[in-house]
């Protein structure tokens, strides 16, 4: 049973990364690719029907943690208070920026909220990447109930670490680049004309740095968690995830320069699915690794809630998941045509 909920948690996080990830990418890029007010409204209109529904997947991931692995919330969340408050502020300001920019017909007003939207999107992509880096690297778990995690210590990825170090910062930068490229592909699916051509040229310049960052993160991960790659080689689900990653890369580059923008967006999504799927398979069964003593690491079997709570939750989860998937399908079918 804990294995099922671990898989569901990975699914929720992956769904959020794919769906809200293109929102972040669009937010990061819209100040650079949109040259006029009309083009900026087009970019915002491209993600407008999706962004608020996409955040449901983040709430669902938190719900899975609460129901299935409450010990993780009790141990880790106090350590991430500062970053969580920053995430909440960024999510709030992104929503405000999208909703109120057109309430006043003034160029300075719109420019202000465009900057807020872009800055919030960039910080969120960076922070979620840093959070992912913390999960891979681990936390300074020493067996006590409370975990303190300062913003940074000596920027080392071992021992008494902080939220930021050279490794988590590198993963955060990689996250920004990957989601920017993902958002660029999505915007090509929803736009046309000169804006689409500009996005296509920008995308060609984005994937190469992303590939370089991926190699750097892989080497860094081998240094920080050498056991991770050893686990990947022994787990068939990790092979499947790597296959999806390869398929996504193939679609992106085989169809580059073509008008098959939906297929290329699916390829970009598969890249993210493959990366996070391989990550989940490689980390299993550890939820929180200890940088002080691996014996103090928190596994999903230790962190799992009681059997009754998990069994009851499995009755309502399929319905909630079906509703969320239905919303995504209906939204994409209703807004599959490029904006004029």
Give yes or no for residue 312 having a pLDDT over 70.
yes
Q: What is the DSSP letter of 142?
A: -
Q: What is the pLDDT of residue 308?
A: 66
Question: What mean pLDDT do residues 141-165 have?
Answer: 78
Q: Where are the domains of the chain?
A: 2-332
Q: What is the pLDDT of residue 185?
A: 94
Q: How confident is the model at residue 179 (pLDDT cuts 50, 70, 90)?
A: very high
Indicate the pTM of the whole model: 0.92
Who wins on pLDDT, 71 or 133?
133
Q: How confident is the model at residue 244 (pLDDT cuts 50, 70, 90)?
A: very high
Torsion on CA atoms 261, 265, 270, 275, rounded to nearest 10: 130
Cβ atoms of residues 125 and 176 within 8 Å: yes
Q: What is the pLDDT of residue 153?
A: 76
Give yes or no for residue 154 having a pLDDT over 90.
no
Those residues with Cβ within 8 angstroms of residue 232's Cβ, 6 or more apart along the chain or in another chain: 238, 242, 278, 281, 282
Q: How confident is the model at residue 56 (pLDDT cuts 50, 70, 90)?
A: confident
Q: How confident is the model at residue 305 (pLDDT cuts 50, 70, 90)?
A: low
Token pair 């990947």: residue: 232
Q: What is the pLDDT of residue 3?
A: 81
How far apart, in Å, are the Cα atoms of 51 and each of 24, 27, 103, 254, 301?
A: 9, 11, 19, 29, 34
Q: What is the pLDDT of residue 296?
A: 81
Give yes or no for residue 275 having a pLDDT over 90.
yes
Q: How many CB atoms lie within 10 A of CB 302?
A: 15
Q: What is the pLDDT of residue 221?
A: 93
Query: Which of 64-68, 236-240, 313-317, 333-337 shows the highest mean pLDDT?
Result: 236-240
């Amino acid at each position: 049973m804990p294995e099922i909920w671990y898989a569901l948690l990975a699914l929720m996080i992956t769904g959020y990364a794919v769906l809200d990830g293109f929102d972040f990418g669009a937010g990061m890029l819209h100040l650079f690719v949109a040259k006029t007010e009309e083009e900026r409204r087009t970019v915002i209109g491209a993600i407008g029907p999706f962004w608020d529904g996409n955040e449901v997947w983040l709430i669902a991931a938190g719900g899975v943690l609460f129901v299935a692995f409450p010990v993780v919330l009790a141990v880790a969340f106090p350590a991430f208070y500062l970053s969580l408050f920053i995430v909440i502020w960024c999510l709030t300001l992104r929503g405000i920026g999208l909703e109120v920019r057109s309430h006043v017909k003034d160029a300075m007003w719109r420019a202000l909220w465009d900057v807020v939207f872009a800055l919030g999107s960039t910080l969120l992509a960076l922070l979620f990447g840093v959070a992912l880096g913390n999960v891979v690297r681990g936390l300074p778990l020493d067996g006590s109930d409370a975990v303190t995690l300062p913003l940074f210590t000596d920027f080392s990825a071992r021992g008494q670490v902080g939220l930021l170090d050279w490794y988590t910062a590198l993963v955060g930068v990689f996250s920004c680049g990957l989601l920017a490229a993902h958002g660029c592909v999505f915007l090509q699916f929803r736009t046309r004309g000169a804006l689409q051509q500009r996005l296509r040229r920008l995308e060609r310049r984005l994937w190469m740095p992303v590939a370089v960052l991926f190699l750097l993160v892989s080497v860094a991960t081998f240094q920080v968690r050498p056991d991770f790659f050893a686990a990947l080689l022994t787990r068939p689900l990790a092979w499947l995830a790597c296959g999806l990653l390869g398929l996504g890369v193939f679609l992106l580059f085989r169809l580059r320069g073509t008008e098959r923008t939906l297929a290329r967006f699916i390829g970009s999504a598969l890249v993210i699915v493959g990366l996070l799927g391989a990550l989940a398979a490689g980390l299993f069964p550890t939820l929180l690794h200890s940088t002080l003593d691996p014996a103090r690491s928190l596994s999903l079997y230790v962190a799992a809630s009681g059997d009754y709570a998990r069994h009851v939750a499995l009755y309502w989860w399929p319905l909630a998941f079906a509703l969320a998937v239905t919303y995504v399908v209906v939204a994409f079918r209703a807004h599959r045509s490029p904006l004029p």
